[in-house]
């Protein structure tokens, strides 16, 4: 089924959290540093944010009956594997695996993490397609020991993939849900976060430029292009290509602008969480937003 004639009930999004970086500037595993609001390690805080968003999506009235699950199941290991968040690790796989051992996630190690973010994107796409394929095989009927090739359910396959980064401490559930809502309304488009460089970001000469970044959602007809990415470039080449073609929907997401690269970043970001809302999108409006 093409996304061009996709019904809302057929919309099926996979969640991928990229956590394969080496934290070179942090000089240690930044994903185990403590989040100032939740007091959880950053990786667990980020995963739980996506789990909450996934739970809300799966239990929304628009979710198809085949994918709808109980709210309680979203906190249990019994959640169907194709409905779990996929976490792509790299250098720090062992420590992240230990930290997330009690959470319903699919953990996959990118052994080519030294190449850069593109390698983690490829691993993420391949993994969500792989687990969807395994789920589909379980649903096939068996006749005389042979799987019937026409029994695969198309609903088992993701129509879209959402990518986010594990080092975005200000991201909240509502940010992710706004992206999903925009994607459901524009299923043929890439839906990406839009923000303007904050004057608080150090070492930036031009503070007026708009940025289009992750979290971002990609429809399935772009999966092959994601699988063709190479190097430490992320998905920007794909976003830029379809921006020119008019197939990018931008969702203002100022919370996506802050990431953790060095220990000093925590001091700067912790000040933002002093406000009662604990939500940068509400407490700080970007220029020209």
Residue 270: pLDDT over 80 = yes
Radius of gyration of the chain (CA): 19
Q: How far apart are CA 77 and CA 276, in angstroms?
A: 33
Q: How far apart are CA 83 and CA 214, in angstroms?
A: 20
Q: How far apart are CA 259 and CA 165, in angstroms?
A: 9
- Angle of CA points 260, 263, 265, to nearest 5°: 50
pLDDT at 202: 52
Residue 254: pLDDT over 90 = yes
Q: Which of 1-5, 136-140, 174-178 has the lowest mean pLDDT?
A: 136-140
Token code pair at residue 158: 């993701």
Would you call the peptide bond into 215 cis, given omega within 30 degrees of 0 as the criterion?
A: yes
The closest of 124, 98, 81 to 44, measured between CA atoms, is 98
Token code pair at residue 116: 């850069």
Q: Sheet containing 248-252: give its strands across.
A: 105-109, 85-89, 13-19, 160-165, 210-219, 190-196, 248-252
Q: How far apart are CA 157 and CA 13, in angstroms?
A: 9
CATH no. for 10-283: 3.90.550.10
* pLDDT-based confidence at residue 4 (cuts at 50, 70, 90): low
Q: Which neighbouring-strand residues pair with 195?
A: 211
Q: What is the pLDDT of residues 189-219, one digit of tens each?
A: 999 999 987 655 554 444 457 899 999 999 9
* pLDDT-based confidence at residue 281 (cuts at 50, 70, 90): very low
pLDDT, average across residues 33-56? 96
Residue 153: pLDDT over 80 = no
* pLDDT-based confidence at residue 5 (cuts at 50, 70, 90): low
pLDDT at 201: 52
Rounded to the nearest 10 degrees, how much is the dihedral formed by the CA atoms of 56, 57, 60, 66? -120
Token code pair at residue 247: 């197939």
pLDDT at 198: 60
For the chain, give every domain's residue range.
Answer: 10-283
pTM above the 0.85 mark? no
Chain position carrying tokens 């602008």: 257
Q: What is the pLDDT of residues 65-122, one digit of tens each?
A: 445 544 444 444 456 777 799 999 999 999 999 999 999 999 999 999 999 999 999 9
Residue 38: pLDDT over 70 = yes
């Amino acid at each position: 089924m093409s996304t061009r004639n996709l019904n809302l009930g057929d919309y099926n999004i996979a969640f991928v959290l990229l956590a394969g970086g080496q934290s070179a500037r942090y000089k240690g595993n930044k994903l185990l540093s403590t989040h100032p609001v939740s007091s959880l390690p950053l990786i667990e805080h980020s995963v739980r944010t996506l789990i909450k968003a996934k739970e809300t999506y799966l239990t929304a009235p628009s979710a198809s009956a085949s994918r709808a699950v109980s709210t309680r199941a979203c906190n249990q290991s019994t959640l169907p594997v194709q409905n779990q968040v996929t976490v792509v690790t790299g250098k720090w796989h062992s420590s992240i695996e230990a930290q997330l051992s009690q959470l319903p996630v699919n953990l996959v190690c990118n052994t080519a993490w030294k190449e850069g973010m593109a390698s983690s994107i490829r691993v993420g796409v391949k993994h969500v397609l792989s687990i969807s394929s395994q789920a589909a095989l379980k649903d096939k009927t068996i006749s005389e020991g042979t799987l019937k090739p026409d029994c695969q359910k198309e609903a088992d396959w993701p129509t879209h993939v959402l990518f986010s980064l594990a080092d975005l401490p200000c991201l909240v559930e509502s940010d992710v849900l706004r992206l999903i809502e925009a994607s459901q309304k524009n299923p043929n488009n890439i839906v990406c976060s839009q923000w303007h460089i904050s004057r608080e970001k150090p070492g930036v000469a031009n503070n007026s430029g708009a940025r289009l970044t992750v979290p971002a959602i990609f429809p399935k007809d772009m999966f092959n292009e994601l699988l063709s990415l190479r190097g430490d470039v992320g998905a920007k080449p794909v976003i830029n290509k379809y921006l020119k073609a008019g197939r990018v929907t931008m969702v203002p997401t100022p919370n996506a602008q802050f990431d953790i690269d060095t220990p000093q970043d925590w001091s700067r970001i912790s000040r933002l969480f002093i406000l009662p809302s604990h939500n940068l999108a509400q407490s700080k409006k970007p220029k020209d937003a």
